[in-house]
Every structure is written in structure tokens, then in C-alpha cells.
Amino acid sequence: MKRKVLIADDEEVIRKFLRIHLDKLGYEVMEAADGEQAIEQLGKDDFDLLICDIMMPKKDGWEVIKEVKSNPKTKNLPVIVLTAKNEDPDMFKGYDLGANYYITKPFTKGQLLYGLKLMLEEPASSL
């Protein structure tokens, strides 16, 4: 069974190339263009990974992570924060909220693959 990944980012071009990478790796990819859509998708389906942007309209990434981690159903879902906010306080805030990995924009394919490997091939949920 294919592993399911949700990409939540308001930037279309980023969703586009992430999907290409993840397709190649054999994941099933779903997209959300803002925070509300992301929560909606998470409610409908079971996912193996959430890649979440922070600065999104309607509901920002912090809110999404808070809701994911406070919901018993999704509380063990690994979350990779993908953001242009690259200062240390932001990173700490991300981890405090329960994010499992943190990638700052701009990033390379290598950084992404490392994160994916860490989250999905290792027993990521126990991190």
C-alpha cells in the first residue's frame, strides 16, 4: 500500500515540484492551498506524513500543527515544517508545537529527501 503524504502550502510552484519528487518516490500525494483545506483533508483521510508551510492564508501553519497534535487521531502523524521563516525562534516554536522536522526555504532536493527518509523509513512517529 502506497504511503500518503499531504502537502499544505499556498505556493503553487512548491506544491508542483514536491509532488513530482514524491511521485517518483512512490508516495500518494494530496494537496492543500491553505490551512483550512489542510485540516479538512486530514479529517477525511489517513496520512503518513504532513508537509506544512507556516505562512498560509486563512489558517497559518502553527494553527494546523496545533490542531494535528491535539487531535488523538492525528497526534502521531509526523510533521515536516516547510517554511521561509528561518530564524531560530521560529524553529523552536515549531518543535515546541510538536513538529518533527524543520526545513527552511529555499531548500534543495537533498534536504527534502533526508527529511522524508528520517520521517518515513525510520520509526519516525517515535521521535
Kindly list the residues in this chain that would bind other proteins in the complex (CB under 8 A): 10-11, 13-14, 16-18, 20-21, 55-58, 60, 84-87, 89, 104-109
Q: Could you tell me the smallest distance in angstroms from the CB atom of residue 41 to other proteins?
A: 20
Q: Could you tell me the smallest distance in angstroms from the CB atom of residue 20 to other proteins?
A: 5
11 or 67: whose CB is closer to other proteins? Answer: 11
In angstroms, rounded to a whole number, what is the distance separating the alpha carbons of residues 119 and 88? 21
Q: Which amino acid, residue 45?
A: D
Nearest residue to 6 (alpha-carbon basis) of 54, 43, 53, 38: 38
77 or 99: whose CB is closer to other proteins? Answer: 99
44 or 109: whose CB is closer to other proteins? Answer: 109
